[in-house]
């Protein structure tokens, strides 16, 4: 396995001959990087999914109301919102590698803190801290993977992070089901420290990305990494494409926030923010966080409801794997719009199912429709949005712009998590899921009008095309009467 295992050489890869690397070695190197970096995605998934199983026992232990459930659930999401902003800035200044090391350290501390929290205020504070790591990882991991991947596999490699997120959620559901019989909810929360240690240690052995090296004037280091991921005859051309952005990066160091005021960049940022909102208002995290509560409302017992959520986690993993295999062939836009249409139909049927009398058959029907909804969501919208956010922003503001979009994503996620239990009590599950279906229809219209297609393009070529497209829109508006 051609991967440097000496920490002292990881940040500056050793000089290699300029011969074309063996495809198998290049593939192994890329997969090794993806496997370690994407542990951040698995932690993201575990820490967001595990609360669904712990919450019913925390409700009894702390005497929580519906609003209290929302506060504990959403505390992590507020932390994640601010963590996404911090992660974007750290990724641009410290580097993608060091920023992921920071996230790993906070993951470890946060997981231990939530496991031992003695009171609700301490639990809320601990989940906020854990959220800082979740939010940072949600920005830095796809950014790292998108910049280190060759263009022809970038979609699949960045989508691998999405696969790790849902795999982490599945792991959380399985752990919840196993530990539920002993009501060991603190162990459910604390076990996240183990993969956090793996992320922290593993990142010591990996390089940073070629694009970050070049942004800091470290062209030799960028070339070393590229020679391990591309044939030698393609390295110089790739270095040239990336190097064209060095002047823009210098401008960014003088004030990245000012760069966001540039009309064409501001337009792309607004589209990215819109995609982030779309991913959240369509209801996915209401299902992830509160699946046992939803199933309990159909008459299912607590342990049975927690166990049943394994089906949601399993279909999420399978659907994400399918989405990964299709997204570089079908393209981003068709995946988004097809998925939103399927989600809307699933949510309408799910809302109708709650109008039926409670019974075991209705519980099974509700679970089946939730599984169908998650299949559409994870195969298309979740995979596509995270990939687009990692691809569509120009290099000079990529970390900051992605951090801003993901900040908005987490704030909308926070609002959904906080209000969903209250909304269930106020209007019932049926109306709530119909509202999510309406959001899917509106999101379909947004994606049809604004979502870019980025399939198969180098990031620098994509930046050029997006700039031309934005300039054409601006010129059209200026010339219109």
The CA-atom distances, in angstroms, between 361 and each of 299, 356, 364 are: 10, 10, 5
Task: Mark 218-232 as b/e (b = at least 16 C-beta within 10 Å).
Answer: beebbbbbbbbbbee
Contact 30, 149 (CB under 8 A): yes
The neighbour count for residue 282, using CB atoms within 10 Å, is: 29
- Chain-centre distance of CA 209, in angstroms? 19
359, two tokens: 């019974």
> What is the rounded distance in angstroms from the CA atom of residue 130 to the CA atom of residue 142?
19
Look-up of token digits 């960028």: 222
Rg (CA), the chain: 22
Q: Which of 293, 301, 265 minimizes the C-alpha distance to 392?
A: 265
Torsion angle of the four alpha carbons 195, 198, 203, 205, in this order, in degrees rounded to the nearest 10: -160
Which pLDDT belongs to residue 261? 76
Look-up of token digits 């209705």: 362
Look-up of token digits 């909308």: 412
**pLDDT means per 10 residues in the chain (481 residues)?**
38 43 69 82 92 92 91 92 84 90 95 96 96 89 84 74 87 96 95 93 90 85 87 82 63 62 84 95 92 91 93 94 87 94 97 92 95 96 88 77 86 92 90 96 95 75 70 61 57
The CA-atom distances, in angstroms, between 213 and each of 26, 93, 96, 97, 226 are: 19, 11, 10, 11, 11
Q: How deeply is 6 buried, as exposed, middle or buried, from its count of CB atoms within 10 A (0-12, 13-18, 19+)? A: exposed
Q: Is the dihedral of CA 219, 87, 51, 350 positive or negative?
A: negative
Which pLDDT belongs to residue 446? 96
Which pLDDT belongs to residue 280? 94
- Chain-centre distance of CA 86, in angstroms? 16
Could you tell me the pTM of the whole model? 0.81
> What is the rounded distance in angstroms from the CA atom of residue 184 to the CA atom of residue 198?
24
258, two tokens: 């000012």
């Amino acid at each position: 396995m051609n991967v440097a295992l000496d920490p002292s050489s990881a940040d500056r890869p050793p000089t290699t001959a300029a011969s074309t690397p063996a495809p198998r070695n290049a593939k192994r190197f890329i997969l090794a990087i993806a496997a370690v970096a994407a542990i951040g995605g698995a932690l993201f998934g575990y820490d967001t999914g595990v609360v669904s199983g712990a919450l019913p026992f925390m409700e009894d232990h702390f005497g929580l109301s519906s609003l209290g459930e929302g506060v504990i659930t959403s505390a992590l999401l507020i932390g994640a919102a601010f963590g996404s902003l911090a992660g974007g800035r750290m990724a641009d200044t410290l580097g993608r590698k060091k920023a992921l090391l920071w996230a790993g350290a906070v993951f470890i501390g946060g997981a231990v803190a939530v496991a031992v929290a003695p009171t609700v205020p301490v639990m809320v504070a601990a989940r906020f801290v854990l959220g800082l790591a979740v939010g940072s990882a949600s920005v830095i991991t796809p950014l790292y993977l998108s910049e280190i991947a060759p263009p022809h596999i970038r979609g699949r490699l960045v989508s691998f992070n999405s696969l790790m997120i849902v795999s982490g959620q599945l792991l959380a559901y399985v752990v919840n089901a196993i530990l539920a019989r002993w009501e060991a909810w603190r162990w459910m929360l604390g076990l996240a420290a183990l993969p956090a240690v793996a992320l922290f240690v593993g990142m010591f052995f990996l390089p940073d990305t070629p694009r970050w090296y070049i942004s800091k004037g470290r062209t030799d280091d960028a070339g070393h990494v590229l020679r391990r991921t591309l044939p030698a005859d393609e390295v110089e051309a790739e270095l040239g494409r990336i190097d064209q952005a060095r002047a823009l990066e210098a401008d960014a160091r003088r004030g990245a926030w000012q760069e966001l005021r540039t009309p064409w960049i501001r337009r792309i940022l607004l589209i990215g923010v819109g995609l982030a909102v779309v991913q959240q208002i369509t209801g996915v995290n209401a299902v992830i966080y509160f699946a046992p509560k939803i199933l309990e409302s159909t008459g299912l017992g607590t342990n049975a409801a927690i166990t049943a959520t394994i089906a949601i986690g399993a279909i999420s993993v399978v659907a994400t794997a399918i989405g990964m295999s299709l997204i570089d062939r079908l393209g981003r836009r068709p995946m988004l719009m097809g998925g939103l249409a399927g989600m809307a139909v699933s949510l309408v049927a799910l809302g109708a199912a709650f109008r039926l009398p409670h019974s075991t058959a209705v519980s099974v029907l509700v679970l089946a429709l939730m599984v169908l909804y998650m299949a559409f969501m994870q195969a298309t919208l979740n995979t596509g949005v995270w990939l687009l956010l990692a691809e569509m922003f120009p290099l000079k503001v990529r970390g900051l712009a992605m951090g801003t979009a993901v900040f908005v994503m987490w704030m909308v996620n926070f609002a959904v998590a906080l209000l969903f239990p209250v909304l269930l009590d106020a209007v019932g599950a049926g109306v709530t899921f119909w509202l999510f279906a309406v959001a899917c229809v509106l999101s379909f219209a947004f994606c049809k009008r604004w979502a870019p297609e980025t399939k198969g393009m180098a990031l620098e070529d994509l930046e050029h095309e997006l700039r031309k497209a934005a300039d054409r829109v601006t010129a059209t508006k200026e010339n219109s009467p």
